Amino acid sequence: MEKQYKKLLKDILENGEKKSDRTGTGTISVFGRTIRHNMKNGFPLLTTKKMHMKSIMTELKWFLKGDTNIKYLVDNDCNIWNGDYEKSGRTDGDLGAIYGKQWRDCNGIDQIAELINGLKKNPDSRRHIVSAWNVGELDQMTLPPCHYAFQCYVNNGKLSLMWNQRSVDTFLGLPYNIASYGMLLLLLCEETGYLPSELIGSLGDVHLYSNHIEQAKLQLTREPYDLPTVKLSNVDVLRGDFDYELMNYKSHPKIKALLSN
């Protein structure tokens, strides 16, 4: 997985075209890329820079709870949505009809509950899809979903997950997305009894912000360590609750970079 991630960084640096963006930062960008990871090879948390696992897991719990208020994140030392909230001009703490709302109450449908039920009762279905791209509510969102849908696939008692992402902040955001959907796959396996198989990312506008280029070059000089593993307990997906233990995680030092909002 990490070799694919580094290959993606190199691809953008060598082939990316300059593009403007809503943040005004500027990017170099390529379009239409795929990454794949077999979960038997370890938990997909990058080792070529130190990752803040707690923030990733806090945000995932927040999504699964159907929560859209920034208070839960801030109370749990997760600040990745602070900039978007401040830029929104809101004062009630709410970020609008974003991921959690769509996952758990999309036009009255609890998509996560429906997904788990479908995986158990009709594993061969081709409709195991959860979408956060609710066209009728995009104007109610602080930020339209970047990772806008995911699909699950069952074969021979194994569960795979593919997520679709329209906009990919490759240096800061994508490593979080990879680990988040990797954990979601493991959680769904806990709920359904399937074994974890492949994690796949289908990526649209894959970019590096102009102020992340030197950081990406530094990361490319680092050799990956073996991936860690995860031990789960007290899993209740529909309550957005789970405990985890990250084991044997060895990484290179953190690489600082500004988040563009």
Name the maximum alpha-carbon separation found in the chain: 49
Tokens of 241: 């609750």
Task: Map the chain to HEC letters.
Answer: CHHHHHHHHHHHHHHCEEECCCCCCCEEEEEEEEEEEEHHHCCCCCCCCCCCHHHHHHHHHHHHHCCCEHHHHHHCCCCCCHHHHHHHCCCCCECECCHHHHHHCECCECHHHHHHHHHHHCCCCCCCEEECCCHHHHHHECCCCCEEEEEEEEECCEEEEEEEEEEEECCCHHHHHHHHHHHHHHHHHHHHCCEEEEEEEEEEEEEEEHHHHHHHHHHHCCCCCCCCEEEEEEEEHHHCEEEEEEECCCCCCCCCCCCCC
Among residues 78, 106, 146, 152, the one annotated as catalytic is 146
106 assigned to active site: no
Catalytic residues: 146
